[in-house]
Amino acid sequence: MDASFKPIADHAVLVTFAEQVDEAAHAAVIALDRSLANDPPEGMDETVPALVNMLVTFDVAKTDHAAIEHAVRQHLTALSPIAQTGNERVVEICYEAPFGPDLDAVAAATGLSPDAVIAAHLSGDYRALMYGFSPGYAYLAGVPEGIRVPRKPMAVRDVAAGSVVIAGPQCIVTTLTMPTGWSILGRSPTQIFTGDPQHPFLFDVGDGVVFKRIDVATFERLSKERAHG
Q: How far is residue 9's CA from residue 210's CA, in Å, rounded to a whole number?
A: 39
Does residue 146 contact residue 129 with C-beta atoms inside 8 Å? Answer: no
Q: Does domain 4-77 have CATH number 3.30.1360.40?
A: yes
Instruction: State the average pLDDT over residues 210-219.
Output: 97
Instruction: State the average pLDDT over residues 153-175.
Output: 96
Does residue 186 contact residue 93 with C-beta atoms inside 8 Å? Answer: yes
Distance between alpha carbon 162 and the CA centroid of its chain, in Å?
A: 14
Helix H or strand E segment including 77:
helix 65-77
- Region of 142 (left: φ > 0; alpha: ψ -120 to 50; beta: rest) is left
What lies within 8 Å, CB to CB, of 67 at 6+ separation is 41, 42, 43
Instruction: State the average pLDDT over residues 52-58.
Output: 96
Extents of the domains making up the chain: 4-77, 88-227
88-227 and 4-77 share a CATH fold:
no
3-state SS, residue 114: helix
User: What pTM, to 2 d.p., does this model score?
Assistant: 0.79
Q: How far is residue 138's CA from residue 171's CA, in Å, rounded to a whole number?
A: 8
Does residue 101 contact residue 184 with C-beta atoms inside 8 Å? Answer: yes
Percent of the chain with pLDDT over 70: 97
Instruction: State the average pLDDT over residues 171-195.
Output: 95
Average pLDDT, the chain: 93
Band (pLDDT 50/70/90 cuts) for residue 76 is very high
Residue 49 has a CB neighbour count (10 Å cut-off) of 24
Does residue 139 contact residue 131 with C-beta atoms inside 8 Å? Answer: yes
Q: 88-227 — its CATH code?
A: 2.40.100.10
Please state which of the ranges 55-59, 73-77, 132-136 shows the lowest mean pLDDT. 132-136
